[in-house]
Amino acid sequence: MRILVINCGSSSIKYQVIDALNEHCLLKETIEKVGEEVTIDKALEQVVAAVTDQTIDAVGHRVVHGGDEFSDATLIDDDVVNRIEKWTSLAPLHNPFNLQGIAVARKLFPNIPHVAVFDTAFHARMPRRASTYAIDKQLAEQHKIKRYGFHGTSHNYVAHKAAAFLQRPLAELRIISLHLGNGASTCAVEMGHSTETSMGMTPLEGLVMGTRAGDLDAGVVLHLQREANLGVDEVDQLLNRNSGLKGLSGIGNDLRDIEAAAAEGDDNARAAIASFAHRVRKYIGAYASTMGGVDAIILTGGIGENSKTMRRRIMQRFGFLGITLDEDLNHDAEVSHEQPVICISEPHSRVKVLVVKTNEELMIAKQTLAVAHKDVEVENPGPIPIAVSARHIHLDKDTFAELFGEDAELEHYKDLSQPGQFAATQKLNLVGPRNRIDGVRILGPLRSKNQVEVSRTDEFVLGVDAPVRDSGRVKDSAPMTLEGPKGTVHLEEGLICARRHIHMHTDDAKRFGVKHNDEVEVAIVGGPRDLVFGDVLIRVSPGYALEMHIDTDEANAAELSKNSDGQLVYTDVLGANAQLKIKHT
Ligand code: ADP
């Protein structure tokens, strides 16, 4: 499922070939000086030449302005092209080039689907109170004057990433997304939907940006025209190209240069930095109140991902909102392809602060795939064996010694299906505030952390409230008392309800087209009761054998017998917009 993603701008064409299933970028190029040294036609012919050895399944086109007409990625045909054209007057610097790219690419790749992915789409359903300018209604309608918002692909992408990282459904989160790049915007993502954003009819509104002024009293424009005799194009040039960080600092639009100058005492540079941060803080406060609270704040874009000093400046003194930044985590945070989300708030911070590496091209590829191939048939990768894991205990060396005595050894009872894992002969009693469960088996070998895995039913028996967690993530999980033959140990944390997961060998992951930490749906078919388990975590390691682990409650719900097999039903980790179902035959 290889997607060619094309971002055709006024002076450059950026393109990537992305395998949308395993999220690998196979090719990434930029052709500069388009329109000067090379025409769009010639440049796109270069693209075709460069990708001939890759089989392309579909092309995804970035389109800046889709107005309020396109609220989703859309399969391109002649009618769609005409409808995009309608919005050109609102984005004269972008849409004509996007459209030219589409026209040429459709000629060069005539036999595959082309999909338009709009910067505005994510905001298209913004509530009216947020999208309306308080001007004459008729005039506004006639000239399509309203707030459309931009950077939607990025805000949508990072919000999904954040929810997955926090292991919470996006549908229950209130997120403030701060996309701080050369262009910059904020977005209130409420239950997965954009309900406010700082860019408006054009990308000029909102934050202080690299070269754009952002929010400004419209009276300033009138004043400049009347008193300074500036023409329309001069005001355009001033506000879009020569303002923002560049205008304030007098140095340029790159924050790195401005931070360096500020460190050496340059007062204009300091003022630029202070204005930038102040404006972002203003929006955070505003969105926290429009949403009636906030659960997570995301920093992304070149500045959000890289400037720790700007992140600190923005996120400080928000204690009153329930935000406490961890200075060390902030200082050390380096997001990368391997680690695209890093939490930089303190563990007790009610609001989580996350640095997220954005990837608009990947999102475009995923949405393109979802639109172009709604139901894709792939080779059946085969069934997945299911193991029902009964309640069990993992112990560290010291805890084992406290419970069984210094000289005791963990004794092998029988092998488990995962290589190297075994059930021990020793058992322990779990003592909860309400009740106890005796004779819970220990699994070996000993680990570096204690972990007690129980089912929901067990929780109610014990009278405890255990979080659903991936195995190994016991930090801030529930406390538990363990009773052994030689002693009793109270664990401050370690009790979890294990999250459904599938162990996969690296080869299996390739066969299924998934990777470590993906979430998939698994359909249990052919049993007494067909059932789909959502939110199943993929865990990949060369040391794993293919097997899905569910707990006893879940097995009961599916009326699973010992030999039931699961089949993967893929849903894209990025949610409804990018739903990809691969049917198994
Ligand atoms: P665009 O909006 O053009 O996609 P990016 O999101 O790539 O821009 O952001 C580019 C900007 O990020 C640069 O102009 C620079 O101001 C800022 N930036 C990148 N790296 C750093 C860094 N290490 N420290 C401070 N600012 C940085």
pLDDT in tens, 442-473: 999 999 999 999 988 999 899 998 877 778 87
- Tell me the pLDDT tens digit for each residue of 17-27: 999 888 899 99
Same fold, 2-118 and 152-364: yes
Q: Is 423 helix (H, G, I), strand (E, B) or coil?
A: strand
Q: Which atom of ligand 1 is nearest to the CA of 255?
A: 16
User: Would the CB of 306 count as within 6 Å of ligand 1?
Assistant: yes
Q: Between β-strands 341-343 and 375-377, what pairing exists: parallel, antiparallel or unpaired?
A: unpaired
DSSP state of 531: E
User: pLDDT at position 533, please?
Assistant: 78
283 or 536: which leads in pLDDT: 283
User: Would the CB of 182 count as within 6 Å of ligand 1?
Assistant: yes
Q: What is the C-alpha to C-alpha distance for residues 277 and 281, in angstroms, rounded to an integer?
A: 6
User: pLDDT at position 15, please?
Assistant: 94
Alpha helices by DSSP H, listed for 347-416, are 360-372, 397-404
User: pLDDT at position 377, please?
Assistant: 41
Average pLDDT, rounded, for the chain: 89
Q: Which atom of ligand 1 is nearest to the CA of 179?
A: 6
Q: Of all protein residues, whose CA lies closest to atom 13 belonging to ligand 1?
A: 254
Given a contact cutoff of 8 angstroms between Cβ atoms, the answer to whether 120 and 90 are in contact is no
Nearest to 363 by CA among 146, 68, 122: 122
User: Would the CB of 184 count as within 6 Å of ligand 1?
Assistant: no
- Tell me the pLDDT tens digit for each residue of 287-328: 999 988 999 999 999 999 999 999 999 999 999 999 999 999
User: Would the CB of 450 count as within 6 Å of ligand 1?
Assistant: no
Residue 568's pLDDT band, with cuts at 50, 70 and 90, is low
- Tell me the pLDDT tens digit for each residue of 479-517: 999 999 999 999 999 999 888 888 999 988 888 878 887
Q: Is 432 helix (H, G, I), strand (E, B) or coil?
A: coil
- Tell me the pLDDT tens digit for each residue of 96-135: 999 999 999 999 999 999 999 999 999 998 989 999 999 9
User: pLDDT at position 218, please?
Assistant: 97
Cα 256 to ligand 1 centroid, rounded to whole Å: 8
User: Would the CB of 262 count as within 6 Å of ligand 1?
Assistant: no
Q: Is 403 helix (H, G, I), strand (E, B) or coil?
A: helix
- Quick one: tokens of 106? 């459709």
User: Would the CB of 257 count as within 6 Å of ligand 1?
Assistant: no
Place of tokens 């010291």: 398
Cα 210 to ligand 1 centroid, rounded to whole Å: 9
Q: Which atom of ligand 1 is nearest to the CA of 184?
A: 2
Cα 149 to ligand 1 centroid, rounded to whole Å: 20
Alpha helices by DSSP H, listed for 119-216, are 128-131, 137-142, 152-166
User: Would the CB of 181 count as within 6 Å of ligand 1?
Assistant: yes
Residues near 306 by beta carbon (within 8 Å), at least 6 away in sequence: none
Given a contact cutoff of 8 angstroms between Cβ atoms, the answer to whether 427 and 452 are in contact is no
Q: Is 494 helix (H, G, I), strand (E, B) or coil?
A: strand
CB atoms within 10 A of CB 334: 12
* Rg of the chain (C-alpha set): 27
Cα 358 to ligand 1 centroid, rounded to whole Å: 12
Cα 276 to ligand 1 centroid, rounded to whole Å: 13
- H/E stretch holding 262 reads helix 255-263
Region 152-364: CATH code: 3.30.420.40
Given a contact cutoff of 8 angstroms between Cβ atoms, the answer to whether 208 and 276 are in contact is yes
User: pLDDT at position 546, please?
Assistant: 86
Ligand 1: residue of 253, 303, 307, 309 to mutate (most ligand atoms within 8 A of CB) is 303
Q: Of all protein residues, whose CA lies closest to atom 23 belonging to ligand 1?
A: 306
Architecture in CATH of 2-118: 2-Layer Sandwich (3.30)
Q: Which residues are catalytic?
A: 119
Whether the pLDDT of residue 582 is over 50: the answer is no
DSSP state of 246: H
- Quick one: tokens of 428? 């322990």
Ligand 1: residue of 12, 307, 336 to mutate (most ligand atoms within 8 A of CB) is 307
User: Would the CB of 273 count as within 6 Å of ligand 1?
Assistant: no
Whether the pLDDT of residue 79 is over 60: the answer is yes
- Tell me the pLDDT tens digit for each residue of 136-182: 999 999 999 999 999 999 999 999 999 999 999 888 899 999 999 99
Q: If you average pLDDT over residues 510-528, what whole number do you get?
A: 75
570 or 151: which leads in pLDDT: 151
Ligand 1: residue of 30, 241, 256 to mutate (most ligand atoms within 8 A of CB) is 256
Ligand 1: residue of 119, 240, 255, 314 to mutate (most ligand atoms within 8 A of CB) is 255
Q: Which atom of ligand 1 is nearest to the CA of 245?
A: 16
Every domain of the chain and the residues it spans = 2-118, 152-364, 374-585
- Tell me the pLDDT tens digit for each residue of 367-400: 999 888 764 444 557 778 888 888 999 999 999 9
